[in-house]
Amino acid sequence: MTIEQTRQLGVEFERRVQIMIPETEFVDKLDTDTIFSFLNQYQDKYIHEIYRNLDNIPAGSKASAHVESILQSMLKAVEIPVSQA
């Protein structure tokens, strides 16, 4: 995500919280750390749920392709250099 996309995500999250709980707009405004803590927790829960249900998703289905695209977008390649001894 770009910095701008991240900022927009935080703004959208706060907007939706204010719709669900209108008094948060004036009483307990959420700070950035709290907003992203909630979003990170949900992402962890979402990914764990996907992995728990992988065996129930038929290979080659639309659901399988969707799950694959979600998981691929979260993978990072890391090269670990081997030290020469």
Give the model confidence (pLDDT) of 7-19 as tens digits.
898 889 888 988 8
> Helices (DSSP H) in the chain: which residue ranges?
3-20, 32-53, 62-74
In a domain, 80, yes or no: no
In a domain, 60, yes or no: yes
In a domain, 79, yes or no: no
- Give this prediction's pTM: 0.60
Q: What's the domain count of the chain?
A: 1
Counting residues of the chain whose pLDDT is more than 90, the rounded percentage is 6
> How many C-beta atoms lie closer than 10 Å to residue 17's C-beta?
18
pLDDT of residue 29 exceeding 60, the answer is yes
pLDDT of residue 26 exceeding 80, the answer is no
